Amino acid sequence: MAFKIIFMGTPEFSVPILKSIYESKHKILKVYTQPPKKKNRGQKILNSPIHEYAKKLKISVRNPFSLNQKEEIEYIKNLKPDIVVVVAYGKILPSDLLNLEKILFINVHASLLPRWRGAAPMQRAIMNMDSETGISIMKIEPKLDTGPVMLQSKFKIHPNLNYKELSEEMSKIGAKLILDALELIKENKAKFTSQNESEITYAKKIDKAEAKINWNENAQNIIAKINALNPNPGCWFELDGSRIKIIKAKKIIRAGKPGIVLDEKFTIGCSKDAVQILEIKKEGKKETTAEAFLKGNKIKIGQNLN
């Protein structure tokens, strides 16, 4: 039995999961994604990664600004899907939609629920220096990420893994797990288990203000934040009026006043230990090594980067 599926997703993370379903025996009726966004002060309109991938597959795309409209709910109802698969869509599905009869709504979420409910589970897991994370497939309820869980798969977070790398690995897991879930549903073997309310943590959306480095934090926390926010929005500090984004850095066991350049290797003091910058990106420039950056930019030992 092949299911008729509506897929809802937006970022690059969702693409391998859409590809996995497309290449299976199941039929994708429609792809929903966030509306196109303006980039570079309105110079260019960009479709989401899912929109672009769906176009390649020649699947019809729909990107309403809201799912709360009666017309939109009626449209979905008339498509008569068996299942709606949601993967980082970016919108909460309204109750009127979830209450449609004979449609199962499931979500592929990038954490081991109930840990890290919310918008930025992978970034928060890295920032918190969790040793593991994973993928959860759950039934969608009106409240965010509260539904019972059907399947989970764990993934060990290795030190210095950044958000981009983790997202790529997790989407591969999600691409496999969604097919396992669909098979269990087909065989009427799907079991949904309520989340343990005592173990809930929340992964709030990344605020741009978080991206500015606070050298008064300890080095390990700063490194975790650099990895969690790489590549976007990226952790940064200011130098001579320009934003400098740190791409890669490592912790150095060394004492020094927070925000002070400690040596010619671009080591910066923190509240505990120090951070040595390895790769960097100056505003408006390409990524480069710290060594190459220092050849063209004068940084003095003892200089304050606060």
3-state secondary structure 12-25: HHHHHHHHHHHCCC
Does 51 share its domain with 129?
A: yes
Query: What is the per-residue pLDDT for 296?
Result: 87
Q: Decide if pLDDT at 292 tops 70.
A: yes
Does 85 share its domain with 229?
A: no
CATH, residue 25: 3.40.50.170
Asked if residue 306 belongs to a domain, the reply is no
Query: For residues 175 and 164, is the Cβ–Cβ distance under 8 A?
Result: no
Does 194 share its domain with 226?
A: no
> Where does the pLDDT of residue 255 fall: very low under 50, low under 70, confident under 90, or very high at 90 and above?
very high
Distance between CA atoms of residues 219 and 33, nearest Å: 38
Mean pLDDT (the chain, rounded): 96
Q: Decide if pLDDT at 291 tops 90.
A: yes
CATH, residue 264: 3.10.25.10
Does 198 share its domain with 231?
A: no
Asked if residue 19 belongs to a domain, the reply is yes
Domain that holds residue 189: 4-203
Query: What is the per-residue pLDDT for 65?
Result: 93
H-helix segments, the chain: 15-22, 49-57, 70-79, 95-98, 121-127, 163-186, 219-228, 290-296
Q: Decide if pLDDT at 43 tops 90.
A: no
Q: What is the per-residue pLDDT across 47-81, written as a single tens digit (0 to 9) for each?
A: 999 999 999 999 999 999 999 999 999 999 999 99
Does 212 share its domain with 198?
A: no
Q: Decide if pLDDT at 151 tops 80.
A: yes
Number of domains comprising the chain:
2
Q: What is the per-residue pLDDT across 90-143, written as a single tens digit (0 to 9) for each?
A: 999 999 999 999 999 999 999 999 999 999 999 999 999 999 999 999 999 999
Q: What is the per-residue pLDDT across 208-237, written as a single tens digit (0 to 9) for each?
A: 899 999 999 999 999 999 999 999 999 999
Token pair recorded at residue 141: 């309820």
- For the chain, percent of residues with pLDDT exceeding 70: 99
Does 141 share its domain with 77?
A: yes
Q: Decide if pLDDT at 41 tops 70.
A: no
Pairing outcome for strands 4-9 and 149-156: unpaired
Does 14 share its domain with 130?
A: yes
Does 164 share its domain with 228?
A: no
Domain end, chosen from 203, 225, 241, is at 203
Pairing outcome for strands 83-87 and 61-62: unpaired
Contacts of 52 (CB under 8 A, 6+ apart): none
Domain end, chosen from 203, 219, 251, is at 203
SS3 of 139-198: the string is: ECCCCCCCCCEEEEEEEECCCCCCHHHHHHHHHHHHHHHHHHHHHHHHCCCCCCECCCHH
Q: Mean pLDDT throughout 278-294?
A: 94
Write down the pTM of the prediction: 0.94
Query: What is the per-residue pLDDT for 80?
Result: 98
Looking up tokens 């599926």 gives: 5
